[in-house]
Amino acid sequence: MILAIDMGNTNTVIGGIDEKKTYFIERVTTDQNRTATEYAVSIKNILEMCDIDVADIEGAILSSVVPPLNSVILTAVEKVTGLRPLLVGSGIKTGMNILMDNPKSVGSDQIVDAVAASHEHPLPLIVIDMGTATTMCVVDKHGNYIGGIILPGLKVSLDSLSSKTAQLPYISLEVPDRVIGKNTIDCMRAGIIFGNVDMIDGIIDRMEQELGQPPTVVATGGLSRFITPMCRHKIICDDALLLKGLLILYQKNK
């Protein structure tokens, strides 16, 4: 088993995975004020809670979009396991051509998602990752990473709406019964939820037009199961997609 860690802006996903199965997936808050020891305690507690013996972990790998915390997490993992994790970044072998203006600027999470999806699904494909930001990246029929879009995530949009308007409250994200809301809260929920649903469907339509053929669409991230069932396109949800990609990259680079 390897310890696969995906550090996002809001949450850090910690999972145990091998070629046979995913043993656990847990989330902790990403906090730049925490020390390596504090993260080490969190990792140790997760392993104990999931009945994972540290001796069963043969390696570790980290994908991060929060560079200031990279050394903190690497040190934390080493404290717990005695292993120095691989770090997804410039120089790591992915087996995928990244056809971008500046390949080094592409988020490591997007590359890992694309590698995993390409390994399991027919090409071309679109990978949707719904977190703090919503990203949609595209792999063409030849297996090249050719780009995508980045837009504000649901909670970022909702928090921005509430914080910038004097009369709109902070609300929870729930699917309303109808599009035409009868009160302020339902109007806000309908706008955020159905707005994102139709936005994703519309962007898939535009990407399909540029690709010239229907793509496979795969979604991951904490909010994907909340939104994608309402989309008119067929979208495959995979909560473990990024961990699967980290396993593939670990095996290519260990």
Residues assigned a catalytic role: 109
253 marked as binding residue: no
> Do 43 and 80 contact (CB within 8 A), yes or no?
yes
107 marked as binding residue: yes
**124 preceded by a cis bond (ω within 30 of 0):** yes
31 marked as binding residue: no
Q: Which residue has the tokens 């010239």?
A: 212
**Strand ranges across the sheet with 11-17:** 22-29, 11-17, 2-7, 59-64, 86-87
Residue of 101, 104, 102, 98 lying closest to 137 (CA atoms): 98
6 marked as binding residue: yes
110 marked as binding residue: yes
105 marked as binding residue: no
186 marked as binding residue: no
Q: Which residue has the tokens 């005695």?
A: 82
94 marked as binding residue: no
108 marked as binding residue: yes
Residue of 1, 29, 2 lying closest to 13 (CA atoms): 29
88 marked as binding residue: no
Q: Which two tokens stand for residue 202?
A: 């519309």
First to last CA, the chain: 13
177 marked as binding residue: no
Residue of 203, 198, 235 lying closest to 220 (CA atoms): 235
Binding site for ATP: what residues are annotated? 6-13, 132
Binding site for K(+): what residues are annotated? 129
Binding site: what residues are annotated? 6-13, 107-110, 129, 132, 184
Binding site for substrate: what residues are annotated? 107-110, 184
